[in-house]
A = this chain, B = another copy of it.
Amino acid sequence: MSKDIKILVVEDDENLRFLAAMRLKTEGYQVLEEADGISAIQTITTEKPDIVLLDWMLPGKEGSEVCEEVRKNGFEGLVIMMTAKAQDVDKIDAYQFGASDYVTKPFSMDVLVAMLESKVKFLLNAERSEIHRFGNMEHHPNIHTLFRDGKKIELTILENRILLYFLRNPNQVISREDLMLEVWGYNSDVNTRTLDMHIVRLRKKIEVNPDNPQLLQTVRGVGYRFNVGS
């Protein structure tokens, strides 16, 4: 399996860092190393690794700060925090700083490798992401974005979800109930007006002439239908 995955190990403990880097290299990963927060930020920015293994306690800058900062700069790779059990970081906290997951020290190299395996699989999967084309538009649901002739149109979370549902069920009548069930879940009590509102806004983004929708059409008394292809 050709992984071709770049991992940055940020850890001030020489021994641990060396051990981890060694093992990851033998597993076939491309490995970079840093020992402090400042350098880590620089390396992440320039090298754009796929995964960052990041110690929680670092000289220079704390792991949480590093994580926050690179996220702000648009880094989208996975960040895995390494924390000592004593520090007892709540999982939630780690996520708050933009980390993707965490491991508690001490951990065996086998555990680390196993975890990375599953993360990598996830990465690879995410790459062959879903794209829907219709008319002169492209919908990339993963990044909540729509492109009209290459021009970017941002979608809100709900717009994205609604559009995705339509695109997965094109040329069919979708009842309001089904749509609301899909978007808001089973035990929600959102007003039906809300749905209308979102349809309106979605039309403004996808239709050439929103007053005379050609793609997202209403089927009176039944629901909506998204027309794709002939």
Contacts and interface: CB of A to CB of B under 8 A. Distances in A.
Contact of A96 (B62, B129, B150, B154): B129
Contacts of A68: 125
B144 A125 contact: no
Given A150-B230, A221-B157, A111 B143 contact: no
A62 B118 CA distance: 10
Given A91-B161, A150-B230, A230-B150, A225 B143 contact: yes
A178 B64 CA distance: 26
A187 interface: yes
Nearest to A104: B185
Contacts of A86: 91
A222 interface: yes
A138 to B, nearest CB: 12
A91 to B, nearest CB: 7
A197 interface: no
A93 B118 CA distance: 13
B219 A144 contact: yes
Contacts of A181: 115, 118
A181 B95 CA distance: 17
A208 interface: no
A187 B109 CA distance: 13
A141 interface: yes
A150 B92 CA distance: 23
A172 interface: yes
Given A118-B181, A150-B230, A95 B130 contact: yes
A19 to B, nearest CB: 18
5 contacts: A91-B161, A96-B130, A115-B186, A143-B219, A156-B221
Q: Which 5 A-B pairs have the closest CB atoms?
A: A143-B173, A111-B186, A96-B125, A157-B221, A114-B186
Given A93-B122, A157-B221, 4 more contacts: A68-B125, A86-B91, A93-B126, A143-B219
